[in-house]
A and B are shown apart, each in its own frame.
Chain A
Amino acid sequence: MAVPFLAAILLAMRLNRGPIRTVADAARPGFVLRDETARAGIAFTHRRPTFDPRIAGIEPHVAALGASVSVTDFDGDDWPDLYFTNSRFGAPNALYRNRGDGTFEEVGGTVGLADLNRAGEGVSMGAVWGDFDNDGREDVAVYRYGFLSLFRNVDGRRFEDVTAGAGLRRWVNSNGAIWLDYDRDGLLDLYVTAYFRDVDLWHLTTTRIMHDSFEFATNGGTNLLFHNLGDGKFEDVTDRMGVGSTRWTMAAASADFNDDGWPDIYLANDYGPEELYLNDGGRRFILTTAGLESESKSGMSVTLGDAFNRGRLDAFVTNISERGYLFQNNNLRLNQMPEAGRFRNVAEGEIADAGWAWGAQFGDFNNDGANELFVVNGFISANRDKNYWYSMSKIAGANARFFEDAATWPPFGDASLSGYERSRVYLNRGLAGWIDVAATVGVTDLYDGRAVALADLSNRGALDVIVANQNQPAVLYRSYPDSANHWIALKLVGTRSNRSAIGAEVVLESGDLTQRRIVDGGSGFASQNDRRVHFGLGSREWVDRVIIRWPSGTRQVVMRPPIDGFVTVTEPER
């Protein structure tokens, strides 16, 4: 009688230490990541905002966002540049121009993209780049807790604020935006996510500004879709297109998930389930559950990648886990939309728990032909001896009336909340699962990571990692993959499609390898990757073909492109 009883207790204690199986290949991930921030000349430190004193009790919580990073090539020299946002009045955003020799120079002030955090205007939460006027130069939309801004790239050396003329001067408390061409007219449209409803966080008239549920909140700000009219103006088509979610959206990503030729929108929502808006021929979007409703959670970011080389774009959505308190588990949603109309969550084991996880990106760091995942995490690192989780647990399960009012929350003081967490780097072992190799490859920082972006900063066939940390310094990890592996990267130039080729989906075929990637119009959390798409090939010495589906609908096949270098592909005019 006592045998199963005692055995169950002992087994639970053993399983508490981790899986019983040992992992043999964690010691040889095939790449290392080195912190070369200082060597590259990047010295950006994010500053968090301050708000109305009426919500001072939970200001650390409300002000815990805003560190973002986006990759661009603003001067068109084929060397990826980096843009970081700041979130305190007077603190400048920074644009780091890539000199091409492994170092960067900060030019934000020179080009007119630094001084964007001003009283009355709001503070930056992130930026997303795209050539909205198809003039061959990348423009940038900056989203804030405050007014949206759109800056036109004049000549690669100067930016002009065209917000008002574009009809985009709207107050949105936003944590994210993406470019997409939802109607395939060759012009980039802008989808802006909203978090808090459109209150002025510096001059509050009420402290009842928080969510009305920890799992099903719908009282956030309204997401907005702006249609690019092509004459420098945008039109708000949110209601007409049916994409005005009020679910406290943290992040959005777009791809053609159901293979019908039209870009859909995937949302990661805080305090609620993820949402998928399917594009109905550019006429409207239809909200569908697609299996995303189970176990509603706290979506912090969404990134897209071909997790198991099925030629599909799957979604990885980060969530919150805190040992002992809460396991909301990250979701790795396999795309089964074309055949089954749904996603299937297959996140198990290590990949499901990355702490309080924020930005994440798929990338083939070791060039072996399979995607790894880089996940940053940590919410508030303050006093190590004080933990707010106990206070949080008092109200998190309670009736909404207890937490909708910011004034009734237990005050934060100098407590930490899931602070000092270490980033995760998950090695893809196919059906054997994903395993964290962060320490092995050299990622050991304990910063409060928010945004992570990937780019081949030195044009050498290696995906480097740039992390924006909240109220802390940004970090650049240079990647050093196994030199025996081959690679190819494609730079796409749209003609009938938007010039940035944002939304173009690329399927590479090389022997037994099939992999899909998309030109990034914004993904992860407050981040945007290099628009050039990078494929690792492992030991494969050629590529059979590359199939490109342009946003215009054009299908293009490139046979036997050269490997171990960059290939520029221009969209056929007809």
Chain B
Amino acid sequence: MTDATHAPAAGSNALTRSWGWIRTLDARYLIAFLITLVLVAAQLRYHMFGSYDRLLLALAVCMATEAILSGFDRGRVVNLLSAYISGISLTLLVKPQGGALWPFVLGGILAISSKYVLRYRDNHLWNPTNFAVTALLLAAPERVSVLSHQFGNDLTTNLVIWGFGLVIAARVGVLHITLTYVASFLLLNGLRALALGQAVMPEIAPITGPMYQLFVFFMITDPRTVVRERRHQIVVAVVIAMMETLIRFASDMAWPLPTAFNVAPAFLALALVGPIAKWLDLRAGFPNNPRHA
């Protein structure tokens, strides 16, 4: 009886201690942990990326590019954790024709260099992986595609990634972005289906896929490229979902869009909306900053 009475309290304390420990960790390490978890699970359970050469190549290129460019730009080599996350994301997302390795090389260079080239007021505007993948899809659609499946369509895997993802998103303070986007996706695409007389289920199905798990936990919530205020972050998440719905509508109507829009509408929506929102945010936030005067 006593044991039974105390067990929940002990469990609760353990949970509190764990949460407290998680709160002390640098957010980047948590994100790095999550993406590594996804990678390991994908490889061990699904042998998802086949050979390890693409992983090593993507990591090496991303980290080397970061080291070199930060050395030139700032006179010192910055923490390479961000490059590590980009390297793993590219490994998971990029699916080249014929096992080619060059997309991982060029993707790594594009991801990292975009942070140093496409800047406004000392901030980069695009999530690096989002930029790289979108650029590859637009520049080389005959040779590069993105992960569309390969995660087994398995509920257990979904639940594990969603479970860890939600905890870490809460710790990093971006859970509201994830949830806003998911809710907006479901609502808007449900409405799109109804408006076009289509079945709703296939239109909301993509949100359960692995591409979207990576999208909602690693791209749309990237702390370096989201706008600053919580209220604005929610608005931007809704706008991104609206843009994606518009892209999907265009695909439904067979408008002549580049294939990339049909293949990865969420990535394209973020690539279009995210930088504008960030630019507006930076522009509004530094009116009198003498460094940018």
A-side residues, CB < 8 A to B, are: 1-2, 4-5, 8-9, 11-13, 15-18, 212-216, 273, 293-296, 321, 323-327, 329, 345, 347-353, 385-387, 389-391, 393-403, 408-410
* Chain A residue at minimal CB-CB distance from B150: A215
Task: State whether the Cβ of B36 lies closer than 8 Å to any Cβ in chain A.
Answer: no
B110 touching A8 by the CB < 8 A rule? Answer: yes
B202 touching A408 by the CB < 8 A rule? Answer: yes
A398 touching B206 by the CB < 8 A rule? Answer: yes
| A4 surroundings in chain B (CB, below 8 A) | 65, 109, 113
A325 touching B153 by the CB < 8 A rule? Answer: no
Task: State whether the Cβ of B281 lies closer than 8 Å to any Cβ in chain A.
Answer: no
B259 touching A324 by the CB < 8 A rule? Answer: yes
Q: How many residues of B contact A (CB 8 A)?
A: 65
A340 to chain B, nearest CB (A): 16
20 more A-B contacts (CB under 8 A) besides A1-B117, A4-B109?
A: A1-B73, A8-B110, A12-B139, A15-B140, A15-B143, A216-B154, A273-B47, A293-B47, A294-B50, A324-B259, A325-B145, A386-B254, A396-B149, A397-B212, A398-B153, A398-B208, A399-B153, A402-B202, A402-B208, A403-B153
Task: State whether the Cβ of B243 lies closer than 8 Å to any Cβ in chain A.
Answer: no
| A12 surroundings in chain B (CB, below 8 A) | 103, 106, 110, 135-136, 139-140, 144
A215 touching B139 by the CB < 8 A rule? Answer: no
Option from A5, A326, A395, A399 in Cβ contact (under 8 Å) with B110: A5
B-side residues, CB < 8 A to A, are: 46-51, 65, 69, 72-73, 95-100, 102-103, 106, 109-110, 113-114, 116-117, 135-137, 139-145, 147-155, 158, 198-199, 201-203, 205-212, 251-252, 254, 259-260, 262-263
Residue from A214, A349, A397 whose CB has the most chain B CB atoms within 10 Å:
A397
The 3 closest A-B pairs by CB, nearest first: A397-B209, A352-B98, A324-B259
B21 to chain A, nearest CB (A): 32
Q: In whole angstroms, how far apart are the Cα atoms of A353 and B144 in the complex?
A: 12
B254 touching A329 by the CB < 8 A rule? Answer: no
A400 touching B139 by the CB < 8 A rule? Answer: no
| A15 surroundings in chain B (CB, below 8 A) | 102, 106, 140, 143
Q: In whole angstroms, how far apart are the Cα atoms of A60 and B194 in the complex?
A: 25
Q: In whole angstroms, how far apart are the Cα atoms of A350 and B97 in the complex?
A: 9
B109 to chain A, nearest CB (A): 4
| A397 surroundings in chain B (CB, below 8 A) | 147-149, 151, 153, 206, 208-212
Can you list 8 contacts pairing A with B, beta carbon distance less than 8 Å?
A: A295-B48, A296-B150, A321-B97, A325-B263, A390-B252, A397-B153, A397-B206, A409-B202
| B72 surroundings in chain A (CB, below 8 A) | 1
Query: Known: A5-B114, A213-B153, A398-B153. Contact between A323 and B262, CB under 8 A?
Result: no
B99 touching A390 by the CB < 8 A rule? Answer: no
A400 touching B143 by the CB < 8 A rule? Answer: no
Q: In whole angstroms, how far apart are the Cα atoms of A385 and B254 in the complex?
A: 8
* Chain A residue at minimal CB-CB distance from B206: A394
| B210 surroundings in chain A (CB, below 8 A) | 397
* Chain B residue at minimal CB-CB distance from A13: B139
B209 touching A398 by the CB < 8 A rule? Answer: yes
Q: In whole angstroms, how far apart are the Cα atoms of A397 and B106 in the complex?
A: 26
B231 to chain A, nearest CB (A): 32
| B135 surroundings in chain A (CB, below 8 A) | 9, 12
Query: Known: A4-B113, A9-B110. Contact between A400 and B153, CB under 8 A?
Result: yes
Option from A16, A294, A326, A351 in Cβ contact (under 8 Å) with B51: A294
B17 to chain A, nearest CB (A): 34
Q: In whole angstroms, how far apart are the Cα atoms of A319 and B229 in the complex?
A: 48
| B142 surroundings in chain A (CB, below 8 A) | 16-18, 323-324
Residue from B151, B202, B212, B263 whose CB has the most chain A CB atoms within 10 Å:
B202
Q: In whole angstroms, how far apart are the Cα atoms of A526 and B201 in the complex?
A: 35
A400 touching B154 by the CB < 8 A rule? Answer: yes
Q: In whole angstroms, how far apart are the Cα atoms of A174 and B47 in the complex?
A: 28
A16 touching B139 by the CB < 8 A rule? Answer: yes
A324 touching B137 by the CB < 8 A rule? Answer: yes
Residue from B49, B114, B142 whose CB has the most chain A CB atoms within 10 Å:
B142
B209 to chain A, nearest CB (A): 3
| A294 surroundings in chain B (CB, below 8 A) | 47, 50-51
B247 to chain A, nearest CB (A): 11
* Chain A residue at minimal CB-CB distance from B48: A295
Q: In whole angstroms, how far apart are the Cα atoms of A385 and B198 in the complex?
A: 19
| A402 surroundings in chain B (CB, below 8 A) | 201-202, 205, 208
Query: Known: A13-B140, A324-B137. Contact between A329 and B153, CB under 8 A?
Result: no
B109 touching A214 by the CB < 8 A rule? Answer: no
A325 touching B148 by the CB < 8 A rule? Answer: yes
B148 touching A215 by the CB < 8 A rule? Answer: no
Q: In whole angstroms, how far apart are the Cα atoms of A326 and B145 in the complex?
A: 6
Q: In whole angstroms, how far apart are the Cα atoms of A64 and B22 in the complex?
A: 53
A286 to chain B, nearest CB (A): 20
Q: In whole angstroms, how far apart are the Cα atoms of A4 and B98 in the complex?
A: 25
B208 touching A353 by the CB < 8 A rule? Answer: no
* Chain A residue at minimal CB-CB distance from B198: A410
A352 touching B97 by the CB < 8 A rule? Answer: yes
Query: Known: A13-B140, A398-B205. Contact between A350 and B98, CB under 8 A?
Result: yes
B95 touching A393 by the CB < 8 A rule? Answer: no
Option from B113, B254, B262 in Cβ contact (under 8 Å) with A393: B262
Q: In whole angstroms, how far apart are the Cα atoms of A389 and B47 in the complex?
A: 25
B99 touching A352 by the CB < 8 A rule? Answer: yes
Query: Known: A1-B69, A16-B141, A397-B153. Contact between A329 and B97, CB under 8 A?
Result: yes
| A212 surroundings in chain B (CB, below 8 A) | 153
B117 touching A2 by the CB < 8 A rule? Answer: yes
Q: In whole angstroms, how far apart are the Cα atoms of A397 and B143 in the complex?
A: 20
B97 touching A327 by the CB < 8 A rule? Answer: yes
| A11 surroundings in chain B (CB, below 8 A) | 102, 106
* Chain B residue at minimal CB-CB distance from A400: B153
| B69 surroundings in chain A (CB, below 8 A) | 1
Query: Known: A323-B141, A325-B145. Contact between A349 and B117, CB under 8 A?
Result: no
Q: In whole angstroms, how far apart are the Cα atoms of A317 and B85 in the complex?
A: 34
B99 touching A348 by the CB < 8 A rule? Answer: yes
A390 touching B251 by the CB < 8 A rule? Answer: yes
